[in-house]
Structure 1
Amino acid sequence: MKKTDPIIPPKEQVYLDGPKSRSYEIGFAWRVFKQFITAFRCLHFVGPCITVFGSARFKEDNEYYKCAREFGKQIAAYGFTTMTGGGPGIMEAANRGAYESGGMSVGCNIQLPFEQVHNKYMHQWVTFEHFFVRKVILLKYSYAFIIMPGGFGTMDEFFETLTLVQTQTIHSFPIVLFGKDYYEPLIDVMEHMAEKGTISIQDMSLVLLTDDVHEAMDHIRKYIMQNYKVKPRKRFWWLFEKR
C-alpha cells in the first residue's frame, strides 16, 4: 500500500487575523505549492477517475454506505479509478467497493482539528492541510462526480463542482446526485432559483437525481462516450472509445 502523507505542522488559527508578515505569507504560499506538487507526484499515474463525495458519518449498516460500496464496484468494473476524500463513511464505502473488486482506489484526505483518519481501502492517498487544495485535486483527475448524501462539506464540494461545470470552467462532466429522498428538497431550491432567474432552466440538466446505481453509472458511461476518448484500466476500456 502506497501513501503520501506530507509532514504538516499543527494548524494555527490565523486565517481571520488580517495580514501577516511577508515572511509568513511567503511561507504559506510555499506550503500550498508543496501540497500541490506532492499530490501531482502521487496521483499522476492513477488513471482516469470517478470521484465519489459523501458524508463521513455513515456506518457500515447504512443504506447509503451499501450503495456507495456498490458504486465502487461498478466504477472498478468499468475500468476507472475510484477517488474519494479518503476518510470514513461514504468515502470508505466507495473505496472499499473498488478495492475489494480489484479496482484502483485512491483518496485525498484532509487534516482536521479532530483528525480524519484515512480509511484502509486505498492503494494511494494524499493528506492535505487546506480544503481548497484538496478540492482541486478531487476534481483534477476525474471524468464524473457522484454526490452521495452528506453535510456541509459535501454541499461545498457539490456546488463548487456544479459552478465549474455551469460556467464551463470544466467541460462535459456528468454530475449525479444520489438519494431522491435526501436531495429532492435541494432540487426544489434549485428550481426556485431557476424560477427567479438566478440560474437558467438549462442549468437543471447538469445534474441527474437518482436512486439507482446502475442508472447513475449508465448516465456516466454515455456522457463519457459522447465527449471523451479515454482508456480506463482493465478489460472494459472499449466502452469509452469515442464513437
Structure 2
Amino acid sequence: MTPEERQHHRTGPVTLRGPLRPTRTTDQQLLEQDGPAEWAHKDPWRVLRIQSEFVEGFEALAELGPAISIFGSARLGEDSPYYGCAIEVAKGLVDMGYAVITGGGPGIMEAGNRGAQEAGGVSVGLGIEVPHEQGMNEYVDLGVDFRYFFARKTMFVKYSSGFVVMPGGLGTFDELFEALCLMQTHKIDLFPVVLVGREYWQGLLDWLRTAVVDGGMANPLDIDLMRVVDTAEEALEVLREYTGQDPAAGEVGGPVGDPARAAAER
C-alpha cells in the first residue's frame, strides 16, 4: 500500500486509513438525494450526530473567553509574506488579551496558531472533514474536529469578537461572506472584519461597490463593514478602534462594531 493510500481521514473523533477511508464526506451524505423514503431511515439519526457536534463544540469553547478568528489560504506557506503577517497578527491579538481561532489546518491557519502559541496565548483550531484531510497543525492547543460545515461555522461566529481575513480561496470567501450576511440581516451583532492585503482584495471591493452596490443589490454600508489594510499593525489598530476596549482588563465580550454604521442604521 502506497503512502498516499495510507493517508488518514478524520470524521469527527474517528480516524480512518487505507481501504477504510470513505469516498464521500459526511456533508455529502447528508445533502445528497436519497431514494423516496430513504430519508426516513437515515436523517433522523443524523440529527443526533449533528446535535452531538454542537454539544461538543459548545462544551470545548464555553470558557474560551474573548477571541478573534484568523482566516486565509491553506496553500500559503512560510515563503509567503502573508504567513509572517498572520504570525504577527496572532501575537498582537494575544498581547491584546484575545485567544486566536483558526480552521486548524496548514498555511495561514498554521501561521495564526503558531503566532498565538509562540506568544503564550490560547491557540484554537476548528477542523473540518474534507476528502484530503490533513489534520490539525502542530500549533493547535485546543482542537475540535467537525463533520458538518454548518456546525463549525456556528462556532466561529459564536466565539469570535472579530475576523481577520488574509488572502485565501473559496473557503476563506465562504467564511467572510457568511459573517457579512449575518450582520447585514441582524442575525449577529456587528463586529470588525479586517481584510489584510489591499492588492489582493481591492478588485473584489471595487466589484462589490460597482456591480453590486451601484446595481442596487446591496447597501454601501454593508461593504463598509470590511476594512482593508496592508500590515499586521494596521490590522491590530483597526481591531483596537472597533472594540474601544481593553481585553486584558476583562472588558471584552460585549457587542462590538462600527459606531458610524450603527448610527446610520438608526
Q: Which of residues 100, 112, 117 in structure 2 aligns to 1:94?
A: 112
> What's the C-alpha RMSD, in Å, of the aligned pairs?
2.0
The two structures have a TM-score, normalised by structure 2, of 0.81
SS across alignment from 2:76: coil
Q: Mapping of 1:123-138 within 5 angstroms?
A: 123-138=141-156
The two structures have a TM-score, normalised by structure 1, of 0.89
* Deviation string, structure 1 residues 4-23 (Cα, Å, up to 9, x no partner): x6237843643222463323
User: Which residue number corresponds to residue 218 of structure 1?
Assistant: 237
Relative to structure 1, is the Cα distance of residues 185 and 101 closer, same or farther in structure 2, using a 3 angstrom cutoff? same
User: Which residue number corresponds to residue 13 of structure 2?
Assistant: 6
SS across alignment from 1:50: strand
User: Which residue number corresponds to residue 127 of structure 2?
Assistant: 109
The 8 Å contact of residues 196 and 229 in structure 2, kept in 1 or not, is answered as yes
Range that drifts further, 175-184 or 7-16: 7-16
Q: Which of residues 56, 65, 83 in structure 2 aligns to 1:47?
A: 65
User: Which residue number corresponds to residue 17 of structure 1?
Assistant: 33
Unaligned ranges ≥5, structure 1: none
Range that drifts further, 150-159 or 22-31: 22-31
User: Which residue number corresponds to residue 204 of structure 1?
Assistant: 223
> In structure 2, how many angstroms separate the alpha carbons of the residues matched to 1:45 and 1:238?
13
Unaligned ranges ≥5, structure 2: 1-11, 17-21, 255-266
SS across alignment from 2:63: coil
SS across alignment from 1:143: coil
Deviation (angstroms), 1:241:
9.8
Instruction: Kindly provide the amino acid, as one letter, of the partner of residue 13 in structure 2.
Output: P
User: Which residue number corresponds to residue 65 of structure 1?
Assistant: 83
The 8 Å contact of residues 143 and 173 in structure 1, kept in 2 or not, is answered as yes
Deviation (angstroms), 1:166:
1.6
Deviation (angstroms), 1:237:
2.6
Relative to structure 1, is the Cα distance of residues 132 and 240 closer, same or farther in structure 2, using a 3 angstrom cutoff? closer
Q: Which of residues 196, 201, 208 in structure 2 aligns to 1:190?
A: 208
> In structure 2, how many angstroms separate the alpha carbons of the residues matched to 1:74 and 1:99?
12
User: Which residue number corresponds to residue 249 of structure 2?
Assistant: 237
The 8 Å contact of residues 198 and 230 in structure 2, kept in 1 or not, is answered as yes
SS across alignment from 2:100: strand
Larger Rg: 2
Answer yes or no: is 1:35 the counterpart of 2:42.
no
Identity of aligned residues (%): 40
The 8 Å contact of residues 69 and 96 in structure 1, kept in 2 or not, is answered as yes
The 8 Å contact of residues 8 and 129 in structure 1, kept in 2 or not, is answered as no
Deviation (angstroms), 1:125:
0.7
Range that drifts further, 179-188 or 200-209: 200-209
Answer yes or no: is 1:164 the counterpart of 2:182.
yes
The 8 Å contact of residues 87 and 118 in structure 1, kept in 2 or not, is answered as yes
The 8 Å contact of residues 172 and 223 in structure 1, kept in 2 or not, is answered as no
For these two proteins, the number of residue pairs brought into alignment is 231
The 8 Å contact of residues 78 and 237 in structure 1, kept in 2 or not, is answered as no
Range that drifts further, 25-34 or 215-224: 215-224
* Deviation string, structure 1 residues 102-140 (Cα, Å, up to 9, x no partner): 011101001111113111112101001111111111111
User: Which residue number corresponds to residue 195 of structure 2?
Assistant: 177
